[in-house]
Amino acid sequence: MVGRGFGSNEILTADDLRIHSDFVLPAKHPLIEELGQQKHRLAKVTGLTFSTARTPVDVYLFRDRDSFNDFTAKSNAAFASRRAFFVKSDSMLNVYAVWGDRAAEDLRHEVTHGYLHSVAPSLPLWIDEGLAEYFEVGPGTDGLNWAHVQHLAVALEQETWTPSLGRMESLFDPTKLTQTDYAEAWLWTHFLLSEESTAALVRSQMQRYQNKTGVSWTAKVHHLVHDPNQRLLEHLKMLKR
């Protein structure tokens, strides 16, 4: 299925990425190089090791929306309204994206899923999305996803949202995630990575997922942080300033 109808004969590689495009990409495109580098940034933040032989991530780039839609209608109709998506099976990790003005953030996001699933396929949805949202803003930003800060600040003010790590842990269906879910998943991730004790917990938890022995986060975070839901809100207020 993969690649059929794609009409691609362009394949570039950047680290463990294989880039296929239905248009000619410059051999050393800065964004493609950055996406290759992103694996090392992800390894540093999460403590995951990518050295073991594993499935590479294939990235399919479409020159425009029409080309993407044509392909998606035939192969992945459920994603027709998206600009980019990630799909996996036992033998492949594929990212599909429109090469448009949002390509950088879309690709950073979906490629994060690709890298994560290459070594820790049973990661809980919230941290999988939280890390994708953390990395989509690109290098030099410390993962600060300003759109989510603003979204949550408004939701808090309008009393349409209260944080709950327990609720985050209960999420399992990516098709049911709301914008607030993405934002909260990002905020927990950003919060936990902002202090060394909790960042160390993230790394040890990720190690467990890599070794397929994943355990619940809520009890572990409560053990390290007094009233984490409240502390999360303080983190949000600090970011807003």
CB 196 → Zn ion: shortest distance, Å? 27
Least distance (Å) from Zn ion to the CB of residue 93? 13
Unique residue bearing structure tokens 């691609």:
8
Size of the site for Zn ion (CB under 5 A): 2
Q: State the DSSP code for 56.
A: P
Restricting to residues 109-168, name those near Zn ion by CB under 5 A: 129, 132
Q: Copy the structure tokens of residue 147.
A: 């759109």
Phi, psi of 62, deg, nearest 5: -110, 135
Residue 206 binds Zn ion (CB under 5 A): no
Q: How far is the CB of 125 from Zn ion (least distance, A)?
A: 9
Instruction: Please give the residue whose beta carbon sits closest to Zn ion in the complex.
Output: 132
In angstroms, give the least distance from the CB of 239 to Zn ion: 21
Q: Cβ(23)–Cβ(99) under 8 Å?
A: yes
Q: Of 14 and 131, which has the nearer Cβ to Zn ion?
A: 131
Name the residue nearer to Zn ion (CB basis): 5 or 174: 174
Task: Pick the closer one to Zn ion by CB: 8 or 180.
Answer: 180
Contacts of 138 (CB under 8 A, 6+ apart): 34, 104, 105, 108
CB of 79 to Zn ion, least distance (A): 12
Choice between 58 and 129, CB closer to Zn ion: 129
CA 67 to CA 71: how far, in whole Å? 6
Residues 89 and 71: their CA atoms lie apart, in Å, by 19
Q: Which residue, 165 or 185, is less far from Zn ion as judged by CB?
A: 185
Task: List % helix, strand, coil for the chain (3-state, nearest 5).
Answer: 55, 10, 35
Which residues bind to Zn ion, rule: CB under 5 A?
Answer: 129, 132
